[in-house]
Amino acid sequence: MVKMCLRCYQERPLDSFRKGDRELVSCAPCREYARGNSYKNRRAQPSKVRADNLWALYRIRPEEYDALREAQAYRCAICGIHESEITVGSRGRPRLDGTPNAEPFRLVVDHYHASKRVRGLLCGPCNAGLGGFRDDPALLTAAARYLLN
């Protein structure tokens, strides 16, 4: 018997959702991850902030992001630009402790909004373009036809 975790959307064995006499909505790996990811720990370690953001928004770990980058040869999945050629704008607010901000990631995660399933990594302009067309293939096709006229 399996049950879907409401945090990671993965099917896990039922015993992963039990704690004593209670039945929980999140699986054991998600609960373990949340315990080690408190606000205090996040503020002290920028890598924890990155890991938390990737997990909260896309349900992937930093290792999965890095593997996807490598699989795409560090290039945008649509236009093929290498991440080293992408110019990045703002690096966000200055850190409270005065240390420099981390280098921003140049390839962003693209995902299906309904299922949160990751499609790949894109440069900012390609990601914004898909968002502008609301991920609708019919609109993208119409735009391509328009450009070809």
* Residue 110: Cβ within 10 Å count: 19
pLDDT in tens, 126-140: 999 998 998 889 999
Do the domain assignments include residue 37?
no
Count of domains observed in the chain: 1
CATH number at residue 136: 3.40.1800.10
User: pTM to 2 decimals?
Assistant: 0.65
- The beta-carbon contacts of 8-16 under 8 Å, at least 24 apart in sequence, are 8/59, 9/59, 9/115, 9/116
Show the tokens assigned to 40.
Answer: 């205090």
Do the domain assignments include residue 73?
yes
Do the domain assignments include residue 3?
no
pLDDT in tens, 66-114: 999 999 999 999 999 999 888 766 566 666 777 766 666 689 999 988 7
Helix ranges (H only) for 61-136 are: 62-71, 124-132
Do the domain assignments include residue 52?
no
**What residue numbers bound the domain in which 75 lies?**
59-86+104-149
